[in-house]
Amino acid sequence: MDQRFHSLDGFIIANLIPSNNSNIHEIIRKDQVQQNLLKNDLVTISSKNPIILKSKILADGGLYNISVILEKSSKGLKLDSDKKINLFISIGKTIPFVIKDPSITSNKNNNGHSKNDNMNNLTLKVKTFYDEIKEFSYDEKKLKMSFSKCSLHGI
């Protein structure tokens, strides 16, 4: 997303709603929904007129770089030149892995299947901030977990 915002009172208030279903970003104001905005389209904002930003931004775990440029021409700011500020946000991603719990004895039915297979499983949740966890395995006999990772963000 690359968008220009203009504050009428010096406040830029935005509520971010991560959405994997959005192919474009939507800026929702009290009075209207704005979609397909061009880079130079100016969105007016204030403390009395905040926006809701619905986008894929921050919908997935990882390291995000948000660049903010305060323009010299902005009203209420006294700047010698445009100032660029880089904000870095790290969002964790929780990845569930289901493993069979060896300590739970199952009641088998006539087909040899457990009456409730889900009751014999544990869900292990791994939180990662930069990499995707792949090839997770659990060795019941050795009580050992192993996994590999792949970098999503080139870090």
Is residue 108 located within the same domain as residue 47?
no
Distance CA 115, CA 113 (A): 6
* Number of domains the chain contains: 2
Same domain, 30 and 49: yes
CB-based contact 61:93 (threshold 8 Å)? yes
Judgement on whether residues 24 and 83 belong to the same structural domain of the protein: yes
The confidence band for 155, taking pLDDT boundaries of 50, 70 and 90, is: very low
The identity of residue 102, as a single letter, is P
Q: In this structure, are residues 145 and 137 in contact, taking their beta carbons and an 8 Å threshold?
A: yes
Residue 12, token pair as written in the block? 């830029």
The pLDDT value recorded for residue 132 is 76
3-state SS of 7-72 is ECCCCCCEEEEECCCCCCCEEECCCCEECCCCCCCEEEECCCCCEEEEECCCCCCEEEEEEEEECC
Tell me: do 34 and 97 sit in the same domain. Answer: no
35 lies in the same domain as 79: yes
Q: Are 31 and 81 members of one domain?
A: yes
Alpha carbon distance 84, 63 (integer Å): 19
Least confidently predicted of 2-11, 20-29, 101-110: 101-110
Q: Which pLDDT score, from 0 to 100, does residue 143 have?
A: 81
Mean pLDDT across 44-66: 84
Structural domain span for residue 34: 4-91
Tell me, yes or no, if the pTM score tops 0.95: no
Reported as a single tens digit per residue, the pLDDT across 67-124 is 888 888 877 778 899 999 998 888 888 888 887 766 655 555 555 554 555 567 888 8
**Whole-angstrom Cα distance, residue 108 to residue 111?**
8
